[in-house]
Amino acid sequence: MNISEQARQLILDQQNEWELAMKNYAGLKHVKTRKLAFDGFDMLVQFNPERIRSSAAKVDAKSVEARPCFLCRQNLPKEQRGISVLNKYKILVNPFPIFPEHLTIPYEDHTDQLIEDKFGDMLDLAKLLEDFTVFYNGPKCGASAPDHFHFQAGIKRFMPIEHDYKKGLFFRDSKNIDRLEIIQWSDYLRTILTFSGRDKDLIKKSFSMLFSELKTLQPAEPEPMLNMLASFEGSRWTVHIFPRKLHRPWQYFETGEKQILLSPASVDMGGILITPRKEDFEKLTMHVARDIFEQVCLGEPAFAGIVNDLF
CB closer to Zn ion, 127 vs 150: 150
Choices 57-65, 129-137, 143-151, 154-162; region in contact with Zn ion by CB under 5 A: 143-151
Among residues 20, 28, 72, 288, the one that binds Zn ion under rule CB under 5 A:
72
Rule CB under 5 A: choose which of 90, 118, 148, 247 binds Zn ion: 148
Instruction: For Zn ion, give the closer residue by CB, 148 or 277.
Output: 148
User: Which residue in 39, 32, 45 sits closest to 292, CA to CA?
Assistant: 45
For residue 106, the minimal CB distance to Zn ion (Å) is 7
* Residue numbers 82-121 binding Zn ion by CB under 5 A: 110
- Smallest gap from Cβ 211 to Zn ion, in A, equals 24
Backbone φ and ψ of 12, nearest 5°: -65, -45
Contact region with Zn ion (CB under 5 A), list: 52-60, 64-72, 209-217, 231-239: 64-72
Q: Is 69 in the site for Zn ion (CB under 5 A)?
A: yes
Q: Which is nearer to Zn ion, 112 or 282 (CB)?
A: 112
Number of residues that bind Zn ion (CB under 5 A): 5
Window of 29-37, 147-155, 167-175, 249-257 that interacts with Zn ion by CB under 5 A: 147-155
> How many Å is the maximal CA-CA distance in the chain?
53
CB of 115 to Zn ion, least distance (A): 17
Q: Which is nearer to Zn ion, 142 or 224 (CB)?
A: 142
Residues contributing to the site for Zn ion (CB under 5 A): 69, 71-72, 110, 148
